[in-house]
Structure 1
Amino acid sequence: MPQKKISFLFLLLHIISFNFAFSQKISEVDKIVAKYPKSFNTTEKLAERIEKDFDSDAERARAIYAWIAFNIKYDYNAFLNPPRVQGFSYSSEAEKQRKIKQLNDNLIQKAFKSQKAVCEGFTALYQNLAEQVGLKCEIIRGDSKTRLADIGRKNTSSNHAWNMVLVDKKWRLIDVTWGQGYYDSNKGRMVNDYDPIYFDTDPDYFFAKHFPDSGTFLGNRLSKDDFLNGPLIYNKTIENDYKIKTPDSGIIQAKNGDKITIEIKNVSKANQVFYLNRKNQPVKVLNPKEKRGGLEFQILVDNNIGDYITIFIDTNSIVSFKII
């Protein structure tokens, strides 16, 4: 499922964050991969090129991410009109596994040759290339949180897929589907916009927008309620490490005259902070206070407040809450 970019005055989606030194190092990988051919005859040829150009597992993992995100486009038509599920019969477990492998190989080749895919194709191709260059990689299926309506949903659903790749004895979270671009509802089409923030995302941020079907990460139980009821965060939130300290729930119960206290870490008075009212008009936050390495401010609940409040910092959407 693609991210949606709904224009500056409403919503804007994307994400990621990683260590500054690490990001500086692997940004050079992007520059090299950007000069690669836009297509290769086989996945083996692409894997060989990556192995030749890069020595470390971290660089190879990033190179695969970058090439896929640069060159494979999200197939929005296939998302709207998914093909029928392919069934098959088998007489033994070995035959079953052969047929599953064949279906998966067909999915990988279709994504690679047509250069179009939905999340299943992106993740299968990433895993295939990762394993060819000697990396251990898994495909994870689960739920995604991208819309205001996702705040306070009752249940999760299996609507998305992403990867985990083992680099330097640590599992890295990767969503190359979201890294390649987004759907622009104003233009009615996909927009190619490479975003590195979905490579090696901090788990705290990643699982604010992803929830695996297993409900676990590396053996640890994740909170389904925190995922469903938490606030909706955006790319710049993670990119700039804007931690939402208060409130910790995405659902705020309030009546006219109440004041909602919001505290965001790594923001200062030098930043412009505002929210949108019911008419999507920007309202500047008044009298913010610097507190514990962040900014604390209040929003008065009145008739101008809509069903949701989205906080902006310097024109970038940062967090949304549902108002009850």
Structure 2
Amino acid sequence: MQKALFVCIFFVNICVAQIADFNHINFSKADDIAKSYRSKNLLNLNEITFNITKDLETDLEKLRAIYVWICNNIANDFGLYTKNKRKRERFQKDSIRLHEWNSEFKTLLFKRLLKKKKTICTGYAYLLKEMCKIVGIEAKIVNGFGRTSTVDFSTLTEANHSWNMVKIDEKWYVCDPTWATGISFPEEGRFDFQFNEGYFLTTPQLFFKNHFPMVKEFSLLKGKTPTLQEFIEMPLLYGEAYNFLESHISPNKMYQEIKQNDVFTFEYQLKKNIIINDLKLISSTGNNDRTLKPEINLQNKKLAITYQFKHKGFYDVHLYHQKKIIATYTFNVTD
């Protein structure tokens, strides 16, 4: 028991790391190789992995090539995701049928991944782990809760998302190849590849806003890891936030109850400086959207947006950058 505890503490102490550790690294060679290499299927994964990493020297570059290759070649299988969700809900109270379906689903999942290059989060995380293993990079699959605008936590009975931890230079990092790959349009039956740089070796504090691991140490956060309820109450961040933000400083919760004429400040640490006029703060009440006029201060990539809420009511407040949504908050402004 004491040995297990020691291992856990040691693990946490070496884990705190992020992409900022590698700001001096140029990934263009790894990216070019990964984007140019094509294969009809994944039946020879060793050959694919060797071909995209053989001319790269460091583990970091090899990891990058693997990650970018996955994100440019493996489509999201929204139909399989929907089928799995429907089956699990149907067999939720029938443990035998649920076990049978889980076994059938694993076979179906890997068959479609290998032959069709289509999968869901489990397949993405598995593929990254296996390709890393081929080149001697240690990686883990992390299971937990992924938070998006469409997730209803009141109906969730088990983890709904998977991502990865990878070890580079004796430090652990988090990444999400699923969400970095692109956008599904299930109503139209299509998937668009749109690589999101921000999910690669993300700052743990920012990554946690949308990723709650079942094993709390896998959050890589310094200090105490928030509870699941605290996670659910956090502000809602969108994919663009990961390209735009280094960290989300405040507020800590999505829902805010304030008094009329109170002044409220949103704070962020940016990855790079931006043009202030590219930012918009918009309030929404049903179908009525209104562009707010806050005070914006930007110094040393620290962004502070201050606004006085003069009107009573219940608002959704959205932060946009260049027409792309960053975050959503909810305000109840009372007397």
Query: TM-score, length-normalised on structure 1?
Result: 0.77
**Distance of 2:166 and 2:182 partners within structure 1:** 21
Q: How many residues of Structure 1 are paired with residues of Structure 2 in the alignment? A: 293
Within 5 Å, which residues of 2 pair with 1:21-170? 22=23, 25-39=26-40, 41-82=43-84, 87=100, 107-108=109-110, 110-147=112-149, 157-170=158-171
Q: 2:282 aligns with which of 264, 270, 275?
A: 275
- Where do 5+ consecutive residues of structure 1 fail to align? 1-16, 89-99
Deviation at 1:237, TM superposition (A): 2.8
Q: 1:204 matched to which residue of 2?
A: 205
Deviation at 1:268, TM superposition (A): 7.0
Deviation at 1:65, TM superposition (A): 1.0
The 3-state SS of whatever aligns with 1:277 is strand
Deviation at 1:155, TM superposition (A): 7.8
**Distance of 2:156 and 2:38 partners within structure 1:** 43
Within 5 Å, which residues of 2 pair with 1:229-268? 229-241=233-245, 243-254=247-258, 257-265=260-268, 266=270
**Distance of 2:244 and 2:291 partners within structure 1:** 22
The 3-state SS of whatever aligns with 1:222 is coil
Residues 199-233 of structure 1: per-residue CA shift (max 9 Å, x gap): 11111111111001123325965212431111112
| Contact map agreement 2:78 2:186 (CA 8 A) in 1 | no
Residues 7-44 of structure 1: per-residue CA shift (max 9 Å, x gap): xxxxxxxxxx8339648612431111111023355111
Deviation at 1:52, TM superposition (A): 1.4
| Contact map agreement 2:75 2:119 (CA 8 A) in 1 | yes
Higher helix share: 2
Q: 1:228 aligns with which of 229, 232, 235?
A: 232
Deviation at 1:75, TM superposition (A): 0.5
Go from structure 1 to structure 2 and tell me whether the alpha carbon gap of 1:186 and 1:118 turns closer, same or farther (over 3 Å shift). closer
**Distance of 1:172 and 1:242 partners within structure 2:** 15
Greater shift after overlay, 127-136 or 295-304? Answer: 295-304
Q: 2:194 matched to which residue of 1?
A: 193
**Distance of 1:119 and 1:42 partners within structure 2:** 21
Q: 2:307 matched to which residue of 1?
A: 298
Query: TM-score, length-normalised on structure 2?
Result: 0.75
Cα RMSD of the aligned pairs, angstroms, is 3.4
Output the amino acid matched with 1:227: F
**Distance of 2:24 and 2:78 partners within structure 1:** 30
- Where do 5+ consecutive residues of structure 2 fail to align? 1-17, 88-96
Identity of aligned residues (%): 23
